[in-house]
Amino acid sequence: MHPFKLLRHNRPKNSRWNNNQRNYGAWIIAVISCPCLMGWGFAAHRKIVDVAIQHVPEPLHEFFKHHRNWLVEHALDADLRKHSVIGEAEKHYIDLDEFGISEYDSMCLPPARWDEAIILYGEKCLRDRGIGPWNVAWQYQRLVEAFRSQNQRRILQCAADLAHYVADLHVPLHTSANYDGAASGQNGIHALWETQLPEAYMDEYNLLGPDLPISWSPHCVDSIWDVIIESHRCLDLVFNAEKETMEEIGETNAFSYTIRGKARQKMRSEAFISCYHGKLNGQVEQRMTRSIQACSIYWYAAWVQAGQPQLQEQQTNKSRLNALIEWLKN
């Protein structure tokens, strides 16, 4: 089995995860050195969370801002779990083409309700094809419950995980069984699109964008199904632009070797990246921006659905304000 397939889908049942530090370190090195194992790259995931925090309205913004460093650092936790937790990998994607869905036809979407989807397809079939959108709904509910409990650690972990999964489903290649181009002779396109391009151009992107009016509804998270359709409709450009770039650049000039982690890897060259990025016409920036907006909306909606509880930092700031008012009165 191709090593990337093994990591994307469930590991074999007879596989054993050895928790000693040496093996765990080896997996971390593998993740860092093989960007195609991740949704977005490490830098992009961190950037998405960082900018999403800036979009969250007050008073919740103060809480997220106070814990910004922790959230940014743990934006990667879900990717690291893919290689130690059986059943984690399938949470990051959904192969819409396996359901008979084309770029132009969204009528064959599976049911948004998990129990109804199981009746139609069976749980094994769904997990084999990826459970990304259902998982986002579950993670959203976990965040709602964390806000209700006012358990700070749970809130932060659930918020970081939800942001990661939501961002992954904004990546077009996370909606196709041809996720790394093997079926079309475009191996490595996954790392090219979601890691190499953001790393090269992310600093030039206007990721903050306009301040959005963030509204809440109890069914807010259902919009994740619109997200995966949008992502899937991007696939034609993802693949066609790569083919055109290869024809223009030529295979001889299309690749170069780079060091990632401790591994020397063959990846697309700077000339190829530049040409490909131009042909995508802002697609990567647009998907990153939409990821950021969705993360901030889901965070805020979960807090509202939980009853808008006052969190520790909010209470502390309110106490300080009251103390200042009393001091001014005296």
Tell me: the pLDDT tens digits for 51-65? 999 999 999 999 999
Looking up tokens 């600093």 gives 203
Q: What is the mean pLDDT of residues 90-96?
A: 97
* pLDDT of 4 over the 50 cut: no
* pLDDT of 15 over the 50 cut: no
Mean pLDDT of the chain: 85
Looking up tokens 């976990």 gives 142
* pLDDT of 326 over the 60 cut: no
Percentage helix, strand, coil for the chain under 3-state DSSP, each rounded to 5: 65, 5, 30
CATH number of 322's domain: 1.10.575.10
Read off the pLDDT band of 320 (50, 70, 90).
very low
Helix (H) or strand (E) holding 260: strand 255-260
pLDDT, position 104: 59
Q: What is the mean pLDDT of residues 128-134?
A: 98
pLDDT, position 26: 42
Read off the pLDDT band of 86 (50, 70, 90).
very high
Read off the pLDDT band of 30 (50, 70, 90).
very low
CA distance 213 to 133: 24
CA distance 31 to 3: 12
**pLDDT tens-digit profile of 150-173?**
999 999 999 999 999 999 999 999
pLDDT, position 7: 41
158: domain range? 3-329
* pLDDT of 258 over the 70 cut: yes
* pLDDT of 66 over the 90 cut: yes
The set of residues, in sequence order, having a beta carbon less than 8 Å from that of 161 and lying 6+ positions away, is 77, 78, 139, 142
Kindly state the tokens that stand for 307: 């009853």
* pLDDT of 24 over the 50 cut: no
pLDDT, position 124: 97
* pLDDT of 242 over the 50 cut: yes
Q: What is the mean pLDDT of residues 256-261?
A: 84
pLDDT, position 10: 41
pLDDT, position 100: 86
Q: What is the mean pLDDT of residues 253-260?
A: 89
Return the sign of the alpha-carbon dihedral for residues 152, 154, 158, 160.
Answer: positive
Read off the pLDDT band of 195 (50, 70, 90).
very high
Query: What's the total number of domains in the chain?
Result: 1
* pLDDT of 236 over the 50 cut: yes
- 3 state SS of 192: helix
pLDDT, position 108: 80
